[in-house]
Structure 1
Amino acid sequence: MADVAGTTKGARAAWRVPRFDWTMAVFVLLAVLLVILIVSPLSRLVIESFSDPETGGFTLQNFVDVFTRKRYMTAYWQTLQLAGVTVVMSVFMALPMAFAVSRTDTPGRGLMYFAVLGAFIVPPFLGAIGWILLAGPNAGWINQIWESLTGSEEPLFNIFSMWGLAFVIALNVFPLIFIFATSAFDLISSEMEEAAAIHGAGPMRATWLITLPLALPAILGASMLVFLETIALYGTPALIAIPARFNVATTQLTTFFEYPAKIELAMAFSVPMVLITIVLLVAQRMMLRGGTVAVSGKGGAREPMKIGRWKWLFLGHGIAVGLLAVVLPAFILVTTSFSVAWARPFGFDNMTLANYREILFEQQTVRDALWNTYTISLTGATVCTALGFVIAYMVIRKLVPMSAVIAFLTVSPVAVPGIVLAICFYAAYAGPPLSLYGSSMLIIIAFVTRFLPIAFVSCASGVRSMNPELEEAVRIHGGGRFRALAEVVAPVLKKSLLGVWILVFVICSRELSTAMFLSSYQNRVISILTLDLSEQGEYEMLAAMGVVLLVITTAVVAVGMRFLGRDFMLRRN
C-alpha cells in the first residue's frame, strides 16, 4: 500500500500544473509599457506633420509651407551656422585641455578637470545669464570697466550676437569633446611618440603627426554631438538670440504655439531637425567603430610627455577656459545675488540679503518652482534609473522576445531633440482623453522618456559585465528572477546605479527644452521661471535663485564624488 501511495503521489507531482511565473509577466508588462511610453508620443511627430488641420486627412501642405517660407528657412540656415561656429569654439577650448591632462606633464591638470566638471554642473541658462550680466552691451560689467578705462561708448563685447551666442554655448558644451578626446588619448600608447622623438621629431610635431590622427575619430564623433546639442538647445538662444533678433530653429518652434497654435507646422518644421540628428548619430557610431587604436585598442605604455615651456601655455589655456566657463559666471551670479542693483558698482552700500529672503521666505512663486524642480528631478531620476535597470536586465539576459527591438526603442529618444520631444508629448497627452497638461506627471513622463537612454546604456554595461551564474544560483535554490535582481544584481551594481541616479538628477534639475511646452503656471520649474524673471529684468532675484540651485546641485555631485570617485560624472560609457 505504501508503494502504491508513493507511486500515486509521484504521478500527481509529475502531472502538476507548473506554477505561473509572475516575474516573466511583469517583464512583459514593462516591455509593453515601454512601447507605449515611447512609440505613442514619437508617432505623433509623423502623424501630425502629415495631417490637414481642418479635415484631419493626409497632406503634404505642412512641409510645403515650411520649405517655402523664407523666415523658416533662415532659421534653419542660422541654426547650422551657429552649430558650426560652436563646434569650432568648443574644439579650441577642449582639445588642448584634454591633451594636457591625458598626455603631458603640464601642472594643474586637476584644476582643468574640475573646470570641466564645473562647466557641466552650471546649467546652460545660468551660464547665459552670467554672461549677459558680464558682457551685455549697455550695462555688462566688462563693458562698464572698458568704458571707464577708455571713455569709449562702443562696447568691448556684445553678447547679443551670433558670435556671443556661440561663445556662451561653447562654454557649456565643450566638456563633451573633452570627455571623448581624453578617453581617446588615454588609449594611445606613447611608444609611437617616443619612436618619433628618436627620429628627431619634437613633442608638438609628434603630436600633430601621430597622436591627433589616432584620436581624430573620437574628436569628430564628439564634435557631432556638440553640433546636435547646439541645434537642440533652447534656453541660451531664448535669452540671447531673441534680444539679438537672431532667429534659430528652437526659438522659431515656440512661435508655432502663439494663438492660434499650429501643431501641424511645428511637427513638420521639426522633422528636418530629427533627420539631421539621426544622420549625425549614425555617422558618429560608424566613426567610433572605425577600428582605430584610439577607440577600440587596449592602449599601451603611457608616459607623460615632457613638453618643456609649452606646458605653461597649456596651463594658461586651461585656466582661461575655467575662468570663462565657471569662475566668472559664478562670481557675477553670486555678486548679483547680494546686490541691491546689479548694474551699480559692488560695494557695501549696494549689498543686501533681501534677494535671498525674498526667494526663500516671501516669493511663493519661487518656492513653488524650487519645490517643483526637485520633486520632479527626484521622481524622474528614481523612475528613470529603476526602469533603465530593469529593462537593461531584461534585454541583456534576453528574458522577452524581440529584446533587440526593446533596446532600440529604449535608446530611440536620443534621436529626438528635447524641444521636439516636448511637442510630441504635448500633442499626445495634453488633450483628451488623458488631459495631462498642467500636471507634473506629464513633465516626469517626458523626462523619464528623454533620459532613459542614459540609464539604460549605463545599466546595460554593468549587467553585461556580471556572470549570470550568480543569478542562476538564486533560482536553483527556489528564488525568482525578481529576487535575483533585488538580492544579487542590484547590490553588485549599486555604485553604478547611484552614479546613474545622480547624473539623471542633475540633468533633470537643469533641463529647460523638454519642460518648455509641458509646464503651466502651477508646475513651473526653475529653468522656466528663469526665462520669466529675465524678461522682467529681475536679475538680482534670478541670481539668488541660481546660486541656490548651484549649491544644491554641487552638494549632490560632491556626495557622488565621495562615494563613486571624482570622475563619475565625466565617464564615457
Structure 2
Amino acid sequence: MPARSMGPVNPAITIATIGLVVVVAVPFAFIVLQAIFPELGRGSLAAPFSRLADVLADARLLRMTGNTLLLGLGVVVLSAVIAVPLAVLRALFRVPGALFWDLMMLVPFMIPPYIATLGWVMTLQPRGYLEQIFGFNLAPFLFSVWGIIFVMTLNTFPVIYFAVSRTVETVGSRYADVGRVFGASSWRAFFRITLPLSTPGLAASLLLVFAAAIEEYGTPAALGRRAGFDVLVTGIDLRVSDWPIDLPGAAILSLVLVVLSFAAFLVQRWVLTRRSYQTTTGKPQAFEKRALGGWTVPVLVAFGLVSFLATAVPLLGILMTALSRTLSGGLALSNLGLDNFGAILSDGPGALRALTTSLSLGVAAALLTGLLGALSAYAVVKTRIGGRQVLDVLTILPNALPGIVVAVGLILAWNQPWLPVTPYNTALILLLAYCCILLPQPVRYATAAFHQVGDNLEAAARVFGASPLTAFRRILLPLILPSLIASMLLVFAVATRELVASIIVAPVGMQTISTYIWRQFEQGSVGLGMAMAFVTVLITTVFPLVILSLLGKRGSLL
C-alpha cells in the first residue's frame, strides 16, 4: 500500500503541481484555446471555431497529414526490417564482438538527426564525397521520400534494436525449444512463440520510432523541400515563421499532430492489453546462447554493413567537412586542416557563445527536470492525495507533444499582450521548452525507482518526527538518485542539441548549438557548422559516459 501523505500541505506535492502546470499544462491549454479562439492573441474571445473549418478543409492539410503518416510508417517498417533481425541474432546467438556492435548501434542514436542528415547531404549530393571517390552521386535518391525515410531510419533503428534484443534475451529460447519438441520447425517456433512473447518491447520501441519520425523537423526540412515533401512539422514552422504569421492555423495543425501521436499510443495500449505476455515465473532459468556456426560470416557482414551506414558514413561526412578549408577544394590533402575548429575556439561567428549557451541550458534543464520529475513521481507513487491521477496525466502528456507543438504553445502562452511579466524573448523560454519536451525521461525513471522503494522507510522517518519534505530529501531521494542521474544525463545530451524549439522560440540575437549549425549551413559556412556538429557529438556522447563511469566507480568503492 502506498504511504499516505500526512499533514495538510506537502511542499513536495505543491512544488510538483505548480511545476507541471507551468511547464506542461499552460502551453498545451493555450494551443487548444488558440485553435478555438483565433483572436486570442489580441485579447479577444470573438469568433470561436471560425478558423477550424477553413484549416481542416485545406487540401494542403490532407497532403501534409498523409505525408506525415507515410514518413512515420515508412521509418517504422524500415527500422523494424533492419533492427529486429540484428536484435534477435544478438539476443539468441553468440555474436563475435557483441559489445562492440552494441556500441556501434548506440552511436547513431547519439548523433542528432539533423546533424546526421547534413553529413549525408555532404556525402551523396552532386560533387559530394561519394562522387569525388567513385564518380557518381545519389542526390536523386537522397532528395526523395525514400531518401528521407532511409536517413531517418538510420538514426532511429537503435531504439528497436536495443529494446527487442533485451526483450528477446529475457524471453530466451526455452519456449521455442518446447515448440520444436512438439514438431515445430525453428522458423515456425520463432514466429509463433518467441516473437509474439517479445511484443511488449517491440510495440514500445515501434511507438517511440513513430513518434520520433512524425515530430522530426531537421531531416524533412533539409531534404523534403527539394523533394516537394511537406509534413505537418514543416507546415507548422511555416505558419509561425513566415509572414503573415498564422498562429490559429499553427495551433490547429499542432492539435492534428498531437492526435496522431496519441493515436499511436492508443494502438500500442490496444496491442499490449489483448493478451498476457508474462514469461517470468520466479524460477531460475538457464539460458545458453547458441553458436552461429556457418552463419558467422554473413551475420558479421550484416552488423558491419549497418554500422558502416548508420555510424561511419555520417560521422566521416561531418568530420571531413569540418576539416575542409573550402568545399570547392574537395578531398585533397592540401585542403584539410583544423581551421574551422580554430575558428570555433576563437569564438568565430559567436560559436563559443552558442556552445556555452547550450551547455548552460542543458545543465539547467537536466537539474529542473530531475527535480520536477522526482517530485512528480513521488506525488503519484508515494502519496494518496486527491488529484494525483491528474498529475500523472500531466507527466505523460509531453510524450504526445512534439517539440514544435511545445514551441507553439509557449509562444501562444507567453506572448499575450496583457501579461505584465513574461519569459518570452528571454533564455527562460528556451529552458521551459526543453523542460516540457524532456520531462517524461526523469519522470519514468523516478517512477520505476519509487516502485522499488518500500513504504516502511518513509513511515519510519515520519514516526521519528521527520516532515514529508525531510523524509523525501534525506531518504527517498538518495535511494532513487542513480536512476535519476542517468535520466538527467540523457536530458542534458538531448537539450544541448535540440533544434526545432530552439529555432522557433530562441530570443533575438541568442544562438544555441543547433541554431548555429543550422544557420551556418544555410549561409554557406558549412565547414564551421560541421566543426560545431562534431564537437557537439563528442560532448554529448563522452560527457555522460564519463559521469556514469565516475558514478560507477564511486558506487563500487562504497
Structure 1 and Structure 2 fold alike (TM over 0.5):
yes
> Could you tell me how far apart the structure 2 residues matched to 1:295 and 1:289 are?
15
Residue 504, structure 1, aligned to residue 495, structure 2: no
CA 1:220 to 1:486, structure 2 compared with 1: closer, same or farther past 3 Å? closer
CA 1:288 to 1:506, structure 2 compared with 1: closer, same or farther past 3 Å? farther
8 A Cα contact 1:215 1:294, kept in partner = no
Cα distance, 1:316 vs structure 2: 1.7
Residue 32, structure 1, aligned to residue 15, structure 2: no
Pairing partner for 1:142 from 117, 130, 155: 130
> Could you tell me how far apart the structure 2 residues matched to 1:160 and 1:565 are?
44
Q: Which digits, 9 at most, give the CA deviation of each residue in 1:137-162, with x for residues without a partner?
A: x1221133332xxxx6x747631111
8 A Cα contact 1:256 1:265, kept in partner = yes
Match of 1:302, SS? coil
* 469-478 or 388-397, which deviates more: 469-478
Letter in 1 for 2:132: Q
Cα distance, 1:374 vs structure 2: 0.6
Residue 65, structure 1, aligned to residue 48, structure 2: no
Cα distance, 1:130 vs structure 2: 0.8
Aligned to 1:166: 149
> Could you tell me how far apart the structure 1 residues matched to 2:182 and 2:551 are?
43
Letter in 1 for 2:18: V
8 A Cα contact 1:203 1:305, kept in partner = no
CA 1:537 to 1:440, structure 2 compared with 1: closer, same or farther past 3 Å? same
> What pairs up with 1:195-210 in 2 under 5 angstroms?
195-198=178-181, 203-210=186-193
> What pairs up with 1:104-143 in 2 under 5 angstroms?
104-136=93-125, 138-143=126-131
Cα distance, 1:192 vs structure 2: 2.3
Cα distance, 1:169 vs structure 2: 0.7
8 A Cα contact 1:442 1:518, kept in partner = yes
CA 1:362 to 1:563, structure 2 compared with 1: closer, same or farther past 3 Å? closer
Aligned to 1:235: 218
Cα distance, 1:97 vs structure 2: 1.8
CA 1:93 to 1:297, structure 2 compared with 1: closer, same or farther past 3 Å? farther
8 A Cα contact 2:23 2:435, kept in partner = no
Residue 218, structure 1, aligned to residue 195, structure 2: no
Aligned to 2:3: none
Match of 1:59, SS? coil
Pairing partner for 2:359 from 369, 374, 395: 374
Letter in 1 for 2:485: L
Letter in 2 for 1:194: D
Cα distance, 1:209 vs structure 2: 3.5
Pairing partner for 2:249 from 254, 261, 265: 265
8 A Cα contact 1:100 1:109, kept in partner = no
Residue 80, structure 1, aligned to residue 69, structure 2: yes
Residue 253, structure 1, aligned to residue 199, structure 2: no
Residue 513, structure 1, aligned to residue 475, structure 2: no
Letter in 2 for 1:108: G
Q: Which runs of 5+ in 1 are unaligned?
A: 1-19, 567-573
Aligned to 2:452: 465
> Could you tell me how far apart the structure 1 residues matched to 2:103 and 2:428 are?
35
Residue 405, structure 1, aligned to residue 384, structure 2: no
CA 1:313 to 1:561, structure 2 compared with 1: closer, same or farther past 3 Å? farther
Residue 274, structure 1, aligned to residue 284, structure 2: no
Letter in 1 for 2:146: W
Q: Which digits, 9 at most, give the CA deviation of each residue in 1:18-42, with x for residues without a partner?
A: xx96962453243234234322211
Match of 1:276, SS? helix
Q: Which digits, 9 at most, give the CA deviation of each residue in 1:444-465, with x for residues without a partner?
A: 1121122212111110111121
> Could you tell me how far apart the structure 2 residues matched to 1:223 and 1:478 are?
48
Q: Which runs of 5+ in 2 are unaligned?
A: 1-5, 554-558
Residue 286, structure 1, aligned to residue 275, structure 2: no
> What pairs up with 1:378-527 in 2 under 5 angstroms?
378-398=363-383, 400-432=385-417, 433=419, 434-527=421-514
Question: What TM-score do the two structures reach when normalised by structure 1?
Answer: 0.88
Pairing partner for 1:544 from 531, 537, 541: 531
8 A Cα contact 1:101 1:112, kept in partner = no
Aligned to 1:341: 326
> Could you tell me how far apart the structure 2 residues matched to 1:327 and 1:561 are?
25
8 A Cα contact 2:92 2:289, kept in partner = yes
CA 1:243 to 1:296, structure 2 compared with 1: closer, same or farther past 3 Å? farther
Cα distance, 1:481 vs structure 2: 2.1
> Could you tell me how far apart the structure 2 residues matched to 1:281 and 1:317 are?
32
> Could you tell me how far apart the structure 2 residues matched to 1:296 and 1:262 are?
53
Question: What TM-score do the two structures reach when normalised by structure 2?
Answer: 0.90
Identity among equivalent pairs (%): 26
CA 1:187 to 1:333, structure 2 compared with 1: closer, same or farther past 3 Å? same
> Could you tell me how far apart the structure 2 residues matched to 1:494 and 1:224 are?
28
> Could you tell me how far apart the structure 2 residues matched to 1:519 and 1:156 are?
32
Match of 1:256, SS? helix
Cα distance, 1:291 vs structure 2: 4.3
User: Which of structures 1 and 2 has the bigger CA Rg?
Assistant: 1
Match of 2:528, SS? helix
Letter in 2 for 1:206: A
Q: Which digits, 9 at most, give the CA deviation of each residue in 1:388-442, with x for residues without a partner?
A: 1112112212163221221111221111111111101110013441332221101
> Could you tell me how far apart the structure 1 residues matched to 2:261 and 2:279 are?
22
> Could you tell me how far apart the structure 2 residues matched to 1:298 and 1:86 are?
37
Match of 2:510, SS? coil
Letter in 2 for 1:277: S
Match of 1:493, SS? helix
* 291-300 or 23-32, which deviates more: 291-300
Aligned to 1:328: 313
> Could you tell me how far apart the structure 2 residues matched to 1:294 and 1:334 are?
46
Match of 1:243, SS? helix
8 A Cα contact 1:221 1:287, kept in partner = no
> Could you tell me how far apart the structure 2 residues matched to 1:298 and 1:322 are?
37
Match of 1:37, SS? helix
Aligned residue pairs total 541
> Could you tell me how far apart the structure 1 residues matched to 2:139 and 2:134 are?
7
CA 1:565 to 1:134, structure 2 compared with 1: closer, same or farther past 3 Å? farther
Cα distance, 1:563 vs structure 2: 4.6
> Could you tell me how far apart the structure 2 residues matched to 1:413 and 1:207 are?
36
* 521-530 or 30-39, which deviates more: 30-39
CA 1:301 to 1:283, structure 2 compared with 1: closer, same or farther past 3 Å? farther
Q: What is the CA RMSD across the aligned residues, in angstroms?
A: 2.5
Pairing partner for 1:43 from 22, 26, 29: 29
> Could you tell me how far apart the structure 1 residues matched to 2:25 and 2:489 are?
27
> Could you tell me how far apart the structure 1 residues matched to 2:299 and 2:107 are?
19
8 A Cα contact 1:106 1:312, kept in partner = no
8 A Cα contact 1:289 1:295, kept in partner = no
